[in-house]
Chains A and B, each alone.
Chain A
Amino acid sequence: MRDGDREDLELHRRLSRGDREAFDELYRRYSPTAYGIAYRLTGQQLLAQDVVHDAFLALWRAPEAFDAARGPFRSFFLALVHHRAVDTIRREERMRARQDRAANLEPAVGEDLSERVVDEDFVARRRREVRDSLEDLSAEQRQVLEMAYFEGMTQVRIAEKLGIPLGTVKTRTFAALRKLRRALETED
């Protein structure tokens, strides 16, 4: 287990006992990554704020949802953020389709939120490792992964959009994740 993961575990243990300082420390560590991914998916500041807000509040209210036996805290928490962001954009899409109206929140186009964020060392290291590993994927593998993860698309929709068979999307997705996993395992 990495030092950063060990520290997260201790912070989570303290948070579970109601320690607000531990909550603040986990917020400091993960809110920029969480907000970054929520904004990338939703494309709207207010929606991204709601996603991150709800994820941290859920962590406070149900810390027992994290099971250390199933992986590191960061995996649990960042998956929680991603799931909420995907649910949010699918719900928004459905509402737009149903009500035939444009979203009434501010558009993402032209926004620049790139305020400098200083990562914890272990977060910065993981960020580099993930980005390097993504670069090693083929363009086709990276494409399906990004459409699924960053745009919240289903595999059926990806197949439609790319004009390729669903089976090809499945195969590429699997190959991409397997290759990424092996690369990141080597780094662990």
Chain B
Amino acid sequence: MDPAEHDRIDELMAGYALRSLSGEDAAEADRLLSEHVPGCARCRETLMAFSDTVADLAFAADPIAPPETLLPRLHRELEPRDERPPVGRWAGIAAGVAVVLVTGGLAISQVLRAEGLQNQNSLFAQALRYSQRPDADSARFVGTDPEAPAPVSQVAAPDADHFFLVGSEVPPAPSGLAYGIWLSDGVDAVFAGTFVPGPSMTVVKVPFDRSRFDRVLITLEVEGDVPTEPGDALWEAAA
């Protein structure tokens, strides 16, 4: 990579460390962080150095003693280590994924072959690990018919820059259409991409900025199109 390109990345990494990127810059940083930075020692080092420096900026603010009620409030909420939420809260999701993996092996391996075994395996493992984070939470999407449960759930964690859509037995989109994912703040919606469900299990990793969006929509879009407005909304979930 030529030095000018690395200079450009350095500037993006500075903005990224400060959490001050938006729009195209944020998207470009996300791309670099997934495609370039992991394999570039120079950029990894730059990002770590900037992240440390930004963290130290906290010391520039005057320290303030928090209210005396805060520590007792925290004490009341600290679960003993062996009673942390993931065991109860996540057993269902983790077991659900595991059951599908075990009992639906043939179907899944067919899906994985069709969609790229490496990629789906990796996503599957990532989603499973992610779902076991104690701060992760899951929510099933809601459709227009409350009696018909949506076949898609989202798994999200407060500090993560992405979440996972986990679908089970999602029906194929009608011919010529594709499922679209939209991120919304209740007023505007930003198109995040489309997905094609497998016959059994579907896992999609979606970059997400929690400071900008608070809901996720799944719609039907014209296949191959990059829509500017959401199509018919099928399912929705608060993020």
Contact = CB atoms under 8 A, between A and B. Distances in A.
A81 interface: yes
B22 A57 contact: no
Given A49-B70, A173-B14, A177-B50, A119 B56 contact: no
A61 B63 CA distance: 25
A173 B210 contact: no
Interface string A164-186: 00000011011001101100110
Interface in A48-95: 48-49, 52-54, 56-58, 60-62, 65, 70-72, 74-76, 78-84, 86-87, 90-91, 94
B20 A158 contact: yes
A104 B80 CA distance: 35
Interface in B199-238: 210-212, 214
B131 to A, nearest CB: 13
Range for the number of chain A residues in contact with chain B = 35 or more
B70 A75 contact: no
Interface residues of B, number: 58
A130 B212 CA distance: 30
Given A62-B133, A84-B159, A113 B64 contact: yes
Contact of A18 (B64, B70, B80): B80
A145 B57 contact: yes
Nearest to B75: A20
Contact of A36 (B12, B51, B62, B185): B62
B18 A173 contact: yes
B11 A171 contact: yes
Nearest to A147: B20
Nearest to B86: A61
A129 to B, nearest CB: 8
B100 interface: no
Given A33-B59, A35-B65, A149 B54 contact: yes
B159 A83 contact: yes
A84 B19 CA distance: 11
B162 to A, nearest CB: 14
25 contacts: A20-B78, A31-B66, A32-B65, A52-B66, A61-B79, A62-B134, A65-B133, A65-B159, A80-B159, A82-B58, A83-B159, A91-B211, A94-B185, A114-B62, A145-B57, A148-B18, A148-B19, A152-B19, A156-B23, A158-B20, A170-B15, A171-B11, A174-B11, A184-B53, A184-B56
Interface of B: 10-12, 14-15, 17-23, 25, 48-67, 70-71, 73-75, 77-82, 84-85, 133-135, 158-159, 185-187, 210-212, 214
The 7 closest A-B pairs by CB, nearest first: A18-B81, A32-B63, A75-B55, A90-B211, A61-B134, A148-B20, A78-B58
